[in-house]
Amino acid sequence: MASRMPSRPRASDTLRSLLRLIPWKLLLLLILFGAIVTPVFSYSFHLGGRLMPAISGFFYALGVPATPVPTPYPAFAQALPQPGPVLYTVQEGDNCDEILTVQMHMADASQIFSDAKPETVRALSSAIGQDCHKLQPGMVIRLSPQYPLMALGGIILKARPVTPPQVLPTPLIPVPTPPDQGIDCSQGCTMQVRIAPGVVVNVDATTNVPVQNGSWIWAFATYPLAHVTGMSNYPYANPQTSLNGATLHACQIQINDTYDDHSSSCDEFQPNTIDDDGGAWLLGVVGPSSLDHWKLPLHLPQGTRVLLWLSLDAHGNLTFHKGNEVYRYDEQQQIYVRV
């Protein structure tokens, strides 16, 4: 008798056998579960792809400081700060060092103008209009402010960091680009600042306040000094020097409405004698873009050019105290007169 080989089960028979073992209710639940879960999972996956960056951006935005509201531009002053002398009549027993120390708070007069360096004494004699070695009672001499500062106020046309910005790595999670928080000048910036129509100065400034092009800057700034051969520390400004295009160094800085308590102090810029003198002379103009901002009790007409003495406080800031000298500029005589 011929042997019979057992036939191999077909795949369809196997599937039918498997389905008979599964209760029909469970099978129905599995079909319903698949019909519901699959589209829900697909929708949730795509929603999560959009939701996670949005949540990340929300918490990122919470950590970003609010951008300060720009201060409306004040009107430019009617004039620019003007260097000029104060007249003094020589008294019995006076000498140049003593006059400068007492009248101009110049504690280092004998070091800056020294007989050991005759060229420095000649420069001083030229500045005051009399020979220091031949002073006589009744002579009138011109006393100029040493290492003067100026009250600076103007529009920042362009700010450029001294050091290039650091390149940050690309984050793994998509993070929305934050709004422009301004230029980082914490390591120093060179700014082009318009201080009057047609007058733009270059200002070196270091501040922790973010800077926007178009912001308004308030500050004290070094006034350009005259160059005298043989004297790298010559202390006086040239009254005929134009400020347009000049380079200034700013201290005690305010950007728009934000005053920077940690900006550069005015005694950091050399040459100066602020620490030894206990203060500094400030040139300014009565007006909203200059001296009015500092709320000084001057009570002078708008547009008046002013020279005043600022005292150095314990924190290294220059402040005006009642009783400090205040002079107004006489345009006809081109001298400063005590107020």
Q: Tens digits of per-residue pLDDT, 97-120?
A: 999 999 999 999 999 999 999 999
Q: Tens digits of per-residue pLDDT, 293-339?
A: 999 999 999 999 999 999 999 989 999 999 999 999 999 999 999 99
Give pLDDT, residue 5. Answer: 43
Give pLDDT, residue 204. Answer: 98
* pLDDT higher than 50, residue 2: no
Taking residues 237-244, what's their average pLDDT?
A: 94
Domain layout of the chain by residue ranges: 24-54
* pLDDT higher than 90, residue 178: no
Q: Which residue has the higher pLDDT, 250 or 55?
A: 250
Taking residues 54-65, what's their average pLDDT?
A: 51
Comparing CA positions, the residue from 249, 256, 258, 29 lying closest to residue 148 is 249
* pLDDT higher than 50, residue 3: no
* pLDDT higher than 80, residue 71: no
* pLDDT higher than 80, residue 51: no
Give pLDDT, residue 29. Answer: 66
